[in-house]
Chains A and B, each alone.
Chain A
Amino acid sequence: MDFFQQQGKNAIENMRSLGRSALILWHAALWLPVSVERYRLLLRQLYRVGVLSLLIVAVSGLFIGMVLGLQGFNTLSRFGAEQALGQMVALSLVRELGPVVTALLFAGRAGSALTAEIGLMKATEQLASMEMIGIDPLHRVVAPRLWAGFISMPLLAAVFSVIGVYGGQLVGVNLLGLDHGSYWSNMQSAVDFYDDVVNGIIKSLVFGVLVTWIAVYQGYNARPTAAGIGESTTRTVVFSSLAVLGVDFLLTAVMFGD
């Protein structure tokens, strides 16, 4: 009996936290940067969430593109199809690796920082004192960070893909001697704007919402102790990584499944 009671209690608790997180998302979605003050708040978070993540995203993109070039060239050349390298690199990046790897990096770089920051603000009573000043922390603290995440993620994923394609060229063309023209023209004819690029952008948008939402919620509901903030930060990275990979499968099945 205790077992069932515990299961029921857990289920109710999970539903409640789902409801709370939905409320956070709802409040943030209604917050639009319409005034100068809000615009400035958003800009600062865009810098911290987006611009500061640029370096890790760019470097990872370059290396992943180079590895793709190396592996792809080796495999394709066995079938004499090395001129298809451009399309292989571009499709892998635009459809899958760009959105997914960027989202994983984003969760580690920006998501964990968001959780820790908001959690610490809660632990040091900054959120409570903001409420008492008559400022809603959901508007001032949570919403700008959520929007910054929504906006930065697709842009970061695009940067990742572009640099990855360039990395593929560095290895495939400049190092291994593939023809420059066939690398780019094959890519141009094989990559469809709507089927590939737009679907990739949709993926990165969805991942951006997922990761930032999880990060902000974990911070806002962290236990206000040192250990509690540590747990929440870990949970942010674990949950958002799993969510990204799981949702990626669903989206891929819907977009490219037929």
Chain B
Amino acid sequence: MMSLIEVRGLCYAIDNRSIFDHIDLDVKQGKITAIMGPSGTGKTTLLRMIGGQLRPDGGTITMDGQNISTLNRRALYTLRQRMGMLFQSGALFTDMTVFDNVALPIRVHTTLPETYVRDLVLMKLQAVGLRGARDLMPSQLSGGMARRAALARAVALEPEIVMYDEPFAGQDPIGMGVLLKLIKSLNETMGMTSVIVSHDVAETAQIADYIYLLADGKIVCHGTPDHLLQHKDPHVCQFMQGLADGPVAFDFPASDLRSDFGCA
């Protein structure tokens, strides 16, 4: 199986705090790869690096053999037409309707006549169940609808790879089920490669083909969902089963509790 995206020896630090420490990772063509880990471990940062919005301090990220971090501006924008990204907030353009939001990438990157654009957009909106909401402005949509509209926009040009940033966070159970089905069906029917960044274990494990577990700047463990769910390592167990007690500290590093309350 070919790797569409290869990450090798990736290092990154913000203000001397190491976010990634020599990370290796592969995203296989046509598969759903999940990157999971506790909040604040740089999962979103990793997506931004794959999208070329941030440059790593060391190591390489390649897509189809092209090193993303050394591409010039023009080549990077060309490469991005082959990627779609679903932002956590949806990030719809607030000054245009849902229809125009989805139509924008098609209008900018192709020379299709307007009737084709209309048909394409309506097909994408139908797929996410928002054909009837085409004339609404983003401010009139609920959070879940906004994210689905953003998904329609992200796949408007039928990119080879779609990256999802926390797609399940803050969704109601129905919206969650719809999204799960959508991601899975996009992957199966259109052959899209998917990268999901998430900390929702149960949902992600349902659809992912392969999971990387990220903690403290390193890949702690990787494998199929079943492999990870049955893993014996206490770090992996704690995260996959959502246990409060375990080797991973939940509290932000702090001074001794007693000294803060003056009884030391």
Contact = CB atoms under 8 A, between A and B. Distances in A.
Contacts of A130: 93
Interface stretch (A133-141, A232-240, A250-258): A133-141
Given A124-B94, A126-B93, A128-B53, A133 B87 contact: no
Contact of A124 (B51, B53, B83, B91): B91
B27 to A, nearest CB: 16
A185 interface: no
Given A133-B80, A134-B81, A136-B77, A128 B87 contact: yes
A132 B92 CA distance: 12
Contacts, number: 51
B91 A134 contact: no
Contact of A133 (B48, B73, B89, B104): B104
Nearest to A132: B85
Q: Bin the interface of chain B by size.
A: 20 to 34
A45 to B, nearest CB: 11
B85 A135 contact: no
Contacts of A37: 107
B87 A129 contact: yes
A68 B61 CA distance: 66
A131 interface: yes
Contacts of B91: 124-126, 128-129
B225 to A, nearest CB: 27
B17 interface: no
Interface string A148-171: 000000000000000000000000
Interface of A: 37, 121, 124-126, 128-136
26 contacts: A37-B107, A121-B94, A124-B89, A125-B87, A125-B89, A125-B91, A126-B92, A126-B93, A126-B94, A128-B53, A128-B91, A129-B87, A129-B93, A129-B150, A131-B53, A132-B53, A132-B83, A132-B84, A132-B85, A133-B80, A133-B104, A133-B108, A134-B80, A134-B109, A135-B108, A136-B73
